[in-house]
A and B are shown apart, each in its own frame.
Chain A
Amino acid sequence: MIGAMRGLRIVACGIALATTAELTVGLLHVLEVIPSRERDWIPLAIYPFLALALLAPAVIGLLIALQLPCNRIAWILLLGSFVPSVQLSAEQLFGAGWSLQSERATIPLLFAWPVAVAFVFPNGRLLSRRWRWVAGAAVVSFGLTVAMKIFDPVAIEPPNQGIRNPVLGNHLGEVIENNGLWIPFAIGVLASLLAGVLAVALRFRRSAGIERLQMLWLVWAAMLTPLAIGYDVLAGFLLGGGGAISFMLLVAAEVALVAAIGIAVVRYRLYAIDRLVNRTLVYVTLSLLLVGAYAAVTLALGVVVASGSDWVVALATLVVAVAFRPLRSRVQDLVDRRFSRARYEGVRRVRDFEEEVREGRREPEAIVPVLAEALRDPLATLLFWLPASATYADESGALVAALPNDGRAQFEIEREGARTAVLVHDAGLLEKPDLLRNVLTAAGLSIEIARLRVEVRFQLAEVEASRARIVEAGYEERRRLERDLHDGAQQRLVSLGVQIRRLQRTLADEARILSPALDQIVGEVGAAIGDLRQIAAGVRPSRLDDGLAAALRDLANSSPLPVDVDARSGRVAASIEAAAYYVVCEALTNAVKHASASKAAVSAVRENGALLLTVSDDGIGGAVARRGAGLAGLKDRVAAHGGTLEIVSPSGEGTRINVAIPCDS
């Protein structure tokens, strides 16, 4: 299959080359390098236009065939330019008589390719099965008209009347001519032209989407031809002939038509031809500039140094080598600005954004709206890939369970072979792959930075959430343990004591001697209960059952220091209350043990969704949160709830601990 494609491409190149060869022969004729016996040959001024008219379909046909070797329109264009061009070398091959005779006969073929294109544009197929009859009739009409005209027995018209018609007065030709046998087929040719117009009109009316756009291109270009013909007719009336201008306009219309066909057919791969044009322009301009620079340097230095010196060559080469890179980007810029506006501006937009990020004026995550703007797709969104959790997240870090499935296209962005993000964009952008690729390449670094930031934020949130869960679970476990101690072991001990007491009371008189021992046992049981209560209180202060404010007051009451308590926090989550309680506990212990304070104050208020806790004393100050020490432990405890702990303890001015713990509601 691939081999066949290659073969087709080679054949296409061959046809295009053959057309070029024919045009070269024609040029040699015009330049009178090859002598011609025909008079009224094409004048030198007209020849370039004729060459353009023949070359344009060949070039566009070749460009299409190279990309889509099976596209029928490519072959119609290639053959459409090659067949009429054969005429140019006919004199060399068959003599002047046959040349003039075939020229007369093949005039209809000039219209053959536009009709063929009109029948099958844009998908290479006829409109319907019924149109096969129309197409067949057209082929027969064109073929027979040309074939019959080859036998035209009439002498050649002036100014070539001196050249003999090689089939002058032949019998078959006489029969055809005398009976007008060619006339129906000539009418058939005209009918085919009308059918072509009808086919395009029908197709245009039925078309939608991409086909509609393709048809628009064709119809727009086809309109130029009647305009040119209209000018010719008008000029004929007013000026007695349109002359060279009419001819030029007709050629321009034809070239425009061919170009439009080319654009319409390779629309999907527009970027390829687009890039080809772009690169050609860039490198032709660049080459000219560099050659100019080389020449200028050589000339300028030639005046100073003896010309032909190795120095001159070396210096000129150096200039060219140094100028190449900056010049190339300049020219590329210029060409992009002229010919690929959207892409140029899109890339510019992204570069400006990167500059803003570098200067710290914008966050890297803002690349998402910038991309939407650069791609001119306001709904375009970027979803960042988080490899650790194998999910996508948007720029705010919110996880996206599944990629949107709303008919929009998705473009996977990779960096060094690893997926970084997916761009969800309008399917229309697929038709501008160059824009998409260039903008995304320019934005690559920003996207990666944004992705990393989203990932770090997401993971941090995960870690914080899990830490909070662990702390919460710890408190829950303590609470359960405390309850088990009270309701299990303690209950059992009490009931054991009660049983002993009952036993003691029912002792017979002679056993009364045991009573003091039983008293002692009950005493021990009581002590065990007391111990157990102490342990349970350490596990979780049951004071917190009545809320933080009450617990803080109890705490203050049991402190050897006078403690001023201002607790107006209301109820917050149990785990947060516990954290706050331990903070105050530790802070008051420090105030007594290390700070030699004479009094302390505790305040707990709720403000802006946070529990604000302050413990201050009038001690010696100088407290720091050393690793492993009580204060550092408090810091961790508070951080586990997403809060902050700040120690203000200037030497000699007392200590103040400020804690803020977020508590919702």
Chain B
Amino acid sequence: MNEALLKAEDVSIHFGGLKALSHFNLEIRQGDLKGLIGPNGAGKTTGFNVLTGVYAPSSGSVWVGDERVNGWMPHQINHLGLARTFQNIRLFRALSALDNVRVACRAASSHLHQERLLKVRKEAAFGKLDAKLLEASSNYLDWWRAFFCSPTFQRDEEQIRHQAEELLEVMGLSHRRNEQARNLPYGEQRRLEIARALGTRPRVLLLDEPAAGMNTREKADLMPLIRRLRDQFALGILVIEHDMKLVMGICEQITVLDHGETIAVGSPENVRSNRKVIEAYLGDSYLEGHAGPSAAGPS
């Protein structure tokens, strides 16, 4: 029943001679909340980029649902239900908060259509050609609907607007609806990015350092928020984070990377006491006083 929504099998990626990530394994199911930590340059974000299709893996395979997505475009992988946020916030800065979310939201009708397309793509009789033709023609049809402002188009627009406003509400950003994204405070920009990712109706959400740049209060609010999102939207969540309190607080399983190698996988307690992890990342000072408030990793 609860099969893996996202699976990385022995994924490696090389840039020339540099092994950015080697033999990386990961599995996310619905309801999972997993963490990915490691020192800077360990390959965490590279891992995200491989999973979301920004880079194709040099070897190994990435599965989303039962599709092997090696070499797929990021938007195709996104349509399968994988959404992400970015380490260095990448909002559409000149667009309003509402429009940022609306870009990601697609009307339900168009979502059904996406599923149909995937099916056709799979069952295509003449290789990829007929699927491509169908996709292209329906894309152009969508534009005609907009040109003529057809009733279907208007219904879709209302639905998109409704969905986007709901998401802003969930993330507590309703009052910022018409403000340009670049004018929002940092913490709200981070939340807006999550709202935008949720707009694509994902089944798996990848958060790249969601707490970076947030103040203590915002960080404290973030933990229950992430848990709530997982339950409310029935997601599997993977978090990259340097804030140990947050990671240890919410993640059920943590993968530790160093120089592209997986050096430990396990529950927060196991990882915390793992000798290799302490050497590579947490540092001895973390062992001595990890209960204290300074228990953050190197930044």
A and B part of one assembly: no
Q: Which residues of A contact B (CB under 8 A)?
A: none
